[in-house]
Each structure stands twice: as C-alpha cells, then as structure tokens.
Amino acid sequence: MIDVINLEKKFGDNNVLNGISIKIEKGDIVCVIGPSGSGKSTFLRCLNCMEDPTGGQIIFNGVDIADQKVDINIHRRNMGMVFQHFNLFNNKTVIENIMLAPIHVQCQDLKKAKKTNRLTKITNIFRKDKKELIPITTNKAEIQEKAKKQAISLLERIGLADKADVYPSTLSGGQKQRVAIVRSLAMNPDVILFDEPTSALDPEMVGEVLDLMKSLAREGMTMIIVTHEMGFAKEVANKVIFIDEGQILESASPDEFFNNPKNPRLKEFLSKVL
C-alpha cells in the first residue's frame, strides 16, 4: 500500500534521511525504533509530506505523493496522523475537533459537484448528445448529521461521550491523545501514522492510549508507529525497524528483532534500553 523508495531528506547541508526504502502492506503494524536524532520522526513526517522529501518516491495507493505537483491534501485524507503533543484544535470543542475535517471535506466535494453540474447544464444547451450530470444524493444538513453520529459513536468507543461539548484544555493528556486518535479515525483513513503518541504522557495515562491503539490493531488498521515503548512494539507490531543516521539498519519481525538482533548498533541500543 505504501512503497517508499530511496527516500531522502536534507535540511540545508544536514542529511537526515539517507535513502530509506520500505514496503508497507495493508494491515501491517510497523514500529519504528531508534535513538533520538536518528531521523525516525522525520521519516514519519515525510510519509505524509509534512516535511517535503528532497529525494526518492513515496508510492501511496499507486500515486507518488512525494511529487510536488500532486495535491497532497487529497491523499492526506487517507492518511491519519497522531502527534506527540496531541495538537487538538484549541478553539473547537471535542466533538467539533472530530467532525471538522469530515464535514469540511464532504461539503467541499458537494460544492465542487454542484459547480461542475452547473457548467455541464450550460454547455449541454449547445451539445447534441447531452453529458450526464453528477448525481447529488446528499445535502449539507445530512452530511453534518452523519458526521455527528459518527463522532458520537467514536467518542462512545473511547468512553468520552460526556466530554463531547467541552474544550480540549479541560481534558487530561491521555484523554486528549485518545480524542486525537479518533479524530484521525473519523476520516476513515487507510493508514495512521503515530509520532511518539505516548512520549508526552504521564506513565499512568500511557496504558489507556496503548489499549486504544491495540484495539485498532486488532481491527486490522494499518499503522506506522514511532515509539519508545519496546513492550508495545514486541506485543503488537508485525514488523519492527531500527533507524539510525537516516538509514534502516535492521528490519525484522519483533521476535527476531528483540531476541536475535544482527546489527551491532542495534545490539548496543537494545542493551541500553531493555
């Protein structure tokens, strides 16, 4: 589903990623591990072009999204992202946070369809064989209604339905991160990128976020997770990769990765953290 070919990223003269290639299939849960400054977060942020790659290709659903000419906004809808610092919209309530993107995107599509239809209607006057109009089956109110229903069911899933109308500033870190995760779920993405989702949380709250991620994993969501939670990687991932100095030094199943590491740098790293 995602095919990364020789991805490179430079910040000025600083080479952060030196040719990363990896294939990610549907349903894969990939954990990315590495020392700080190794480029693992940059790698993740390049995947949805939050940082524009300076070289290489990212083939996502058959399209090279590293290409500057591609409308990245359309592809980002299918690629959720969860941040270390949650980044909930502070000026929106919890439920608005979740509904904002689905409503906006669908209303935009609706507007676009109506516009094309108007144009087709006018040009049809001069056409012999009339061009067909795009069928419009919904309206704004219906979209809003649907998004709201979905948002409520998502909130119920994480047990925060009673917090729907409060602002994010009143939530705890773990609650914020769970809301952030369902916010990305609301777009029904093909893959979710997690950028150290538990690093900014109290130890007490790490569990609730990891539980939610595990339940997503069981449902077959494709996930790419940058994390320092070795136990979580061992338990959930079906592939673990080790990045250092902008390169993938080891890529293996979790069992192989933790019990039988081959790369000397990885051995050293694991001996420090385990």
Which residues here bind other proteins, judged by CB under 8 A?
A: 48, 50, 73-74, 76-77, 80-81, 83, 85-92, 100-101, 104-105, 167, 169-170, 180, 183-184, 187
Sequence-ordered list of residues with C-beta below 8 angstroms from that of 214, at least 6 positions apart, any chain: 235, 236
Cβ 169 to other proteins shortest distance, Å: 5
Cβ 251 to other proteins shortest distance, Å: 25
Q: Which is nearer to other proteins, 92 or 234 (CB)?
A: 92
Cβ 231 to other proteins shortest distance, Å: 27
- Distance between CA atoms of 128 and 119, rounded to whole angstroms? 16
Complete DSSP assignment for 210-269: HHHHHHHHHTT-EEEEE-S-HHHHHHH-SEEEEEETTEEEEEE-HHHHHHS--SHHHHHH
Locate 90 and state its tokens: 């502070």
Cβ 236 to other proteins shortest distance, Å: 22
Cβ 115 to other proteins shortest distance, Å: 17
Give the count of beta carbons closer than 10 Å to the beta carbon of residue 175: 22
- Distance between CA atoms of 42 and 196, rounded to whole angstroms? 12
Q: Which is nearer to other proteins, 132 or 165 (CB)?
A: 165
Q: At what angle do helices 140-157 and 173-185 cross, to 10 degrees?
A: 140
Cβ 39 to other proteins shortest distance, Å: 18
Cβ 103 to other proteins shortest distance, Å: 11
Q: Which is nearer to other proteins, 73 or 253 (CB)?
A: 73
The DSSP output letter for 162 is G
Task: Determine contact, residues 240/233, Cβ cutoff 8 Å.
Answer: yes
Q: Which is nearer to other proteins, 74 or 119 (CB)?
A: 74
Q: Which is nearer to other proteins, 160 or 182 (CB)?
A: 182
Q: Which is nearer to other proteins, 94 or 249 (CB)?
A: 94
Task: Determine contact, residues 154/219, Cβ cutoff 8 Å.
Answer: no
Q: Which is nearer to other proteins, 183 or 239 (CB)?
A: 183
Q: Hunting for tokens 């693992």 — which residue is that?
A: 40
